[in-house]
Structure 1
Amino acid sequence: MNISIELSLYPLAEQEFKSEIWAFIKRLRQVDGLKVVTNGMSTQVFGDYDLAVKHVMQEIKLVHEKLDAAVFVCKFINGDRSHVEAES
């Protein structure tokens, strides 16, 4: 079974956060079997359900360990929605 996950990261810490956001995305992009797409608003992760959820949760934990405070807004949708275009 496949899954589509949309993530937005909002660091609440005063420390430098852009590098941590890009490091988060880069680590997810290195996982074989995941498709990771970014835009100015969010990151989308597509792939096998167990693989995607495992790695997304690991990366969320790493960010929470590194930053004093960070909020993640996540949407989990069953199925691979990477081919679905946004409607106008």
Structure 2
Amino acid sequence: MNISIEISLYPLAQEKFKTDIWAFIHKLRAIDGLTVVTNGMSTQVFGDYDLAVKHVMEEVKLVHQTIDSAVFVCKFISGDRSEVEAES
């Protein structure tokens, strides 16, 4: 089963917020089997359900452990919506 996850990360009160966001994205891009697409508003992760959810949640936890305050807005959508997104 596949999943599509849309994530927006908002580090609060951080001077280096872009660095924190890109570090999060690069870690997800390093996972074999995941497709990670970014734009100015969010990051989309596509792949096997268990693989994607496991790694996204590990990275969310790491951000919360290393950044004083951060907000995540996430959408979890069943199926691979990467082709649908590309057609829009």
Instruction: Tell me if both proteins adopt one fold, taking TM over 0.5 as the criterion.
Output: yes
Tell me the residue number matched to 2:34.
34
Q: Deviations over 1:12-33 (max 9, x none)?
A: 1234111111010000000000
Q: Which has the higher helix share?
A: 2
User: Does the alignment pair 1:9 with 2:3?
Assistant: no
Structure 2 gap ranges (5+): none
- What TM-score, normalized to structure 2? 0.94
What is the aligned residue count? Answer: 86
State the distance in 2 between where 1:47 and 1:29 align: 12
**More displaced 10-residue stretch of structure 1: 4-13 or 14-23:** 14-23
Q: Percent of aligned positions with the same letter in both sequences?
A: 77
Q: CA RMSD in A?
A: 0.8
- What TM-score, normalized to structure 1? 0.94
Structure 1 gap ranges (5+): none
* Superposed structure 1 runs of 4+ greater than 4 Å apart: none
